[in-house]
Every structure is written in structure tokens, then in C-alpha cells.
Amino acid sequence: MQEIFEAHHDSFGDLLGEEPTITHLATGFGFIEGPVWRGDHLLFTDIPNSRIVRYQVAEEGPTVSTFRYPSGNANGMTLDGEGNLVTCEHSNRRVTRTDGEGNITVIANRYEGRRLNSPNDAVVKSDGAVYFTDPPYGLPGHTQGKELDFNGVFRIGEDGELTLLIDDMDRPNGLAFAPDEQTFYVADSARKHIRSYDVGADGG
């Protein structure tokens, strides 16, 4: 493998091949997050510019365009089982689902009548449930307008019910399931650690 990556495990080569290359696609963004491949294009968020950007390779060459503006300072994104885009919107303080026609549906914005902090990252389980973290990063000063007295990790069931799973993290951030979905991982960026949780039969 070429010395452009520092590989800490041999399996890294299985992902990128023996001679991976780095290609500079675009520049000029403020702070980018949330990359997700959707059909024939890549989407990612430019948080401070409140923009979701689309990178697509067409017959005439690659193009960079705006998928959505304003995006509510969108951060993390993922796809559900039907290919809909699930987006965590910082300044709108909500999680949305966007279908193939561009229709946006709010799937979470309040917990027990109080506004969410600023949803950050999301992952979708194979049963369709959406899990997301809700730190205060998108709030001015990380405190202004905060209505919840905790920074939580939530689950949105297929029936739309919002359930609080974790409320004792400082800054819950990235999250993921193990391949068998029996273990749930959540990073606490303030404490610089990753916690693991056993997943119950009810998804919690």
C-alpha cells in the first residue's frame, strides 16, 4: 500500500485496495460534515454556510452544486432503508426525512414538549428506527435557548415515538451499530471516549 495512509490494521487494505489514491474534489467550504452516498451522488453538509452540497460525476465531468439552502445548519446525515435522507439540523433543532421527490418531513423536534438542543449525528437500524445524538453544539454559546437539562441520545421508532435512551453524556456525538446490531456505540467528544451498549429486544 502506498504511503499516503497510515494503516493500523491489515484489513484497511481490504477496504481501499492495495494502491489507494487521494483526489482533491472541491474546496471553499466553511466546515464540512455528514457525507453520505445517495444513488449516483455524494451529499455532505457545510454547516456554517447552512448548505447541503451535492457532488456528482456526469458524462461531461464532475459537478459541485447546492442540494439544499438554507439547510438549518445541517450536520450529520444518513439514509433509511428506503433511501430517504435523514438529516440532523442544528439551528432548526430537529431531525428530518427527505424523500426522493424532495419532500421534507420533520420526524423529531421536541421531547416532552421541550425543544431539542441541536441534533448532531444519526444512524438508522435495520428495523427502520432512527437513533440520533443531541448535544448543544448548534446553540449560541452552547447554552442560549437550551430547554432540556441534559444532552441526550434518542430513538425514533417506526411509529414516530421519540424515546430518550441516554441522558448522562457530556457531548454525545458520533454513533454506530456493530454489524450484527447487538452493540450500540456512542462517542462523547468532551470526555474523549466511546461507550458501548447492549441493544435490547425493544431496540433500547
145: containing domain: 12-198
User: Does residue 6 lie within any of the structural domains?
Assistant: no
- The pLDDT tens digits for 38-86 are 999 999 999 999 999 999 988 888 999 999 999 999 999 999 999 999 9
User: Does residue 203 lie within any of the structural domains?
Assistant: no
User: Does residue 163 lie within any of the structural domains?
Assistant: yes
Neighbours of 29 (CB within 10 A): 15
- Let me know: does 53 contact 69? Beta carbons within 8 Å: no
Judge whether residue 2 has pLDDT over 60. Answer: no
Judge whether residue 140 has pLDDT over 50. Answer: yes
Number of domains in the chain: 1
CATH number, domain with residue 59 = 2.120.10.30
pLDDT of residue 203: 80
User: Does residue 102 lie within any of the structural domains?
Assistant: yes
User: Does residue 3 lie within any of the structural domains?
Assistant: no
Q: How confident is the model at residue 1 (pLDDT cuts 50, 70, 90)?
A: very low
Which letter, b or e, does each residue of 155-183 get, where b requires 16 or more Cβ atoms within 10 Å of its Cβ?
bbeeeeebeeebeebebbbebebeeeeee
Task: Quote the percentage of the chain above a pLDDT of 70.
Answer: 99
pLDDT of residue 5: 79
| pTM for this model (two decimals) | 0.92
User: Does residue 40 lie within any of the structural domains?
Assistant: yes
Q: How confident is the model at residue 3 (pLDDT cuts 50, 70, 90)?
A: low
Average pLDDT over residues 78-105: 97
Better-scored residue on pLDDT, 25 or 67:
67
Closest CA to 133 of 184, 200, 182, 98: 184
Q: What counts of helices (H) and strands (E) characterise the chain?
A: 1, 17
Judge whether residue 24 has pLDDT over 90. Answer: no
pLDDT of residue 19: 79
- The pLDDT tens digits for 144-183 are 999 999 999 999 999 999 999 999 999 999 999 999 999 9
Alpha helices in 1-79 (DSSP H): 12-16
Give the E-state strand segments of the chain in sequence order.
32-38, 41-46, 51-58, 61-68, 74-79, 85-89, 94-98, 104-108, 110-111, 114-115, 122-124, 130-134, 151-156, 162-169, 172-177, 183-188, 193-198
Alpha helices in the chain (DSSP H): 12-16
